[in-house]
Amino acid sequence: MTARLGTGRPTRHPAGGDPVAWHDAEHGGFAADLGLFARLAGELPGGVLDLGAGTGRVALPLAAAGHPVTAVDTDPAVLAALAQRAAERSLPVETVRGDARALDLGRTFPLVLAPMQLLHIAGGAAGRRRLLAAAARHLRRKGRLCAVVIEEPLPAGTGRPDPVPDVREVDGWVHSSLPTEIRIEEEGITMVRLRQLVAPDGTLTEATHTIHLDRFTLADLDRDADAAGLWVVGCERIPSTVEFEDSLAVYMEVRDG
């Protein structure tokens, strides 16, 4: 994969809303893991590889604390926004457009992060193992991968989150994303949001946005890590949020030999 540095400002798409605003609205408010990542970056200085970086929820505060960050995502719009935000603040962030499962930067890091349930959207066991193997390629000796995952077991059923929308306004366009349903099924977790876009003239359009997350146990993850040349060295619980009551930060290191 060739690294491409993100520059410029993301293109606006009023018909469906701004992808950066949707990303900020639906992910930007999550902060339960930031203290943990800051602590790890302080314990493992020398640079951070942030997988699935989005618009910089994790990368920007780490860079503001003085840690150089290489931020990876597949979406050019959110990467462009991240690059612009970092440049405006003169923060040490490099953006790379690419699939974390196929990443090959040719260098290593003391700390690799897979935040916000990234492993749950990697594409099943095969995708998780590819992502973990790519992370292992980028881990410095004695470095650490921290992956945030959903703790199992989960109770099956359907729930309705608190009816509080996540809102962002961009150039007079109001983006409101309301969590309406979470379905926990044997094969995965489905989260449904109602996206409402209000134009500057007051015109309202609505669409349903659905996200599916794979389910797996810590035993599954341990097998995936072993297949990728990693071993699980510990974990710690992350404070509950509206969307996720039980999340764990799982720590992995490259297996010797």
| Maximal CA-CA distance, the chain | 63
In this structure, what are the phi and psi dihedrals at residue 98, rounded to the nearest 5 degrees? Answer: 175, 165
Q: pLDDT of 58-72, one tens digit each? A: 999 999 999 999 999
Domain presence at residue 4: no
The tens digit of pLDDT for each residue in 98-118 reads 999 999 999 999 999 999 889
CA distances to 69, 72, 73, 119, 145 from 82, rounded to whole Å, are: 11, 10, 10, 22, 22
Residue 10 belongs to a domain: no
In a domain, 231, yes or no: yes
CATH number, position 167: 2.20.130
Same domain, 94 and 121: yes
Q: Are residues 106 and 50 in the same domain?
A: yes
Do 171 and 245 belong together in one domain?
Answer: no
What's the pLDDT tens digit per position in 177-203?
Answer: 988 888 888 889 998 889 999 999 999
Say whether both 90 and 195 belong to one domain.
no
169 and 74 together in one domain: no
The single-letter code of the amino acid at 64 is: A
Q: Are residues 133 and 198 in the same domain?
A: no
pTM score: 0.87
Q: How far apart are CA 142 and CA 204, in angstroms?
A: 53
Distance CA 99, CA 55 (A): 16
In a domain, 110, yes or no: yes
For the record, the structure tokens of 222 come out as 């341990």
